[in-house]
Amino acid sequence: MRSDAREAAFKVVFADLFCQNDDTLARTVFRQDKLSEEDISFAEALIACVKAHREELLTVIAEKTAQFPDHRVFAADKAILLIALAEIKYFDDIPPVVSASEATNLARKYSTERSTDFVNGVLGGIINA
């Protein structure tokens, strides 16, 4: 299920915000989350896309969150936004509203009470731009 793959990708992207990781972390997360081969493939593609376009994606996020100093954007929210934005920009088979919905679900599970609205608002601004 792609939701599980996104969650696994989130864990890897979140960890990468603090230090560069090799594929060992991703393999461990995929095994612990019991992802299917199809889900592993999707999660790997998502992680690779975030890594390949990281600076561009971070620039878009910074522009859309300009009213918040960078240190005020929670790392979990940033990782969620990176994944969702990568999907919106580079995965044509995924409707942007699905990416936004999945991102808000991750924020609900892994971040603060206000993060759901924050992530939804940022992604809404990107989608509707």
Crossing angle of helices 2-16/96-110, nearest 10°? 60
- Per residue in 61-103, pLDDT (tens digit) is 999 998 887 778 899 999 999 999 999 999 999 999 999 999 9
Is the separation of the CB atoms in 54 and 82 below 8 Å? yes
SS3 5: helix
pLDDT attached to residue 35: 97
Q: In degrees to the nearest 10, what's the CA dihedral of 129, 88, 118, 20?
A: -130
- Per residue in 33-70, pLDDT (tens digit) is 999 999 999 999 999 999 999 999 999 999 999 888 77
CATH T-level topology, domain 2-127 = N-utilizing Substance Protein B Homolog; Chain A (1.10.940)
- Per residue in 12-38, pLDDT (tens digit) is 999 999 988 778 999 999 999 999 999
Domain ranges of the chain: 2-127
pLDDT attached to residue 105: 97
